[in-house]
Amino acid sequence: MTGPQHPAHLPDPVHRASHDDREQVVEQLGEAAGDGRIDLAELEERVERAYAAKTYAELAPLTVDLLPAADPRLSGPLELTTLAGSLKQDGYWEVPRQLTARSDKGSIVIDFTEAVCRHREVVLDVDVHMGNVEVVVPRGWSVTTHGVMAGFGSVKNRATDAPAPGSPVLRVLGQVSMSSVRIRYSRRGLGGRWRWSGRR
């Protein structure tokens, strides 16, 4: 039996769900009931909601509490530091509550597109001198940059669409001098996979 997951491709939580998406959620709920994680009454109630769901945002809450717990070894702060080189955090990875990006003259890319985020709020602390930091988020995420102090540098947040209900909030803090911080949506399809795994 496969473990519970969100529907395979969630390009944007506000997009319409298909029959296959609903059936996949119902199958996951049946497995959860078989494992004893939900009782028959809750199974019936969630299945009814799954068949009535019109968007991905309505489907996601039905299985979010059935996902495996986070690996505690991956839940600590993540620090990315470079002097003059380049660093890239992308692909599948577990997003911690706290991230730090420090760059002297180098570049750092943090791509959340294929990451699994189990937190409602994530804090990214930046300290950039003559380098640059690029942050890529899936559509549906909320990003704030009010906590960044820019000297002779620049901070541009292009991830400004209305957030999806229950999606993660990325708060960017820190300082930027003679450098740049850019936040944008993924260019992969309609925003990659929305793989938030629930409130922690």
SS (H, E, C) the chain: CCCCCCCCCCCCCCCECCHHHHHHHHHHHHHHHHCCCCCHHHHHHHHHHHHHCCEHHHHHHHCHHHCCCCCHHHCCCEEEEECCCEEEECCCCEECCEEEEEECCCEEEEECCCCEECCCEEEEEEEECCCEEEEEECCCCEEEEEEEEECCCEEEECCCCCCCCCCCEEEEEEEECCCEEEEEECCCCCCCCCCECCCC
% the chain with pLDDT above 90? 50
- Sequence-separated (6 or more) residues with CB below 8 Å from residue 78: 89, 96, 98, 99, 100
Indicate yes or no: pTM above 0.95.
Answer: no
* 50-76 pLDDT tens trace: 999 888 778 888 887 776 554 544 457
> With bands split at pLDDT 50, 70 and 90, how would you rate the model's confidence at 193?
very low
% the chain with pLDDT above 70? 82
The mean predicted confidence, pLDDT, of the chain is: 82
> With bands split at pLDDT 50, 70 and 90, how would you rate the model's confidence at 80?
very high
Residues in the chain: 200
> With bands split at pLDDT 50, 70 and 90, how would you rate the model's confidence at 172?
very high
Compute the average pLDDT of residues 133-160: 93
Compute the average pLDDT of residues 133-147: 94
pLDDT at 154 over 70: yes
Residue 12 confidence (pLDDT): 52
Helix axes of 19-34 and 40-52: crossing angle, nearest 10 degrees: 170
* 83-116 pLDDT tens trace: 989 999 999 999 999 999 999 999 999 999 999 8
pLDDT at 3 over 50: no
Residue 36 confidence (pLDDT): 86
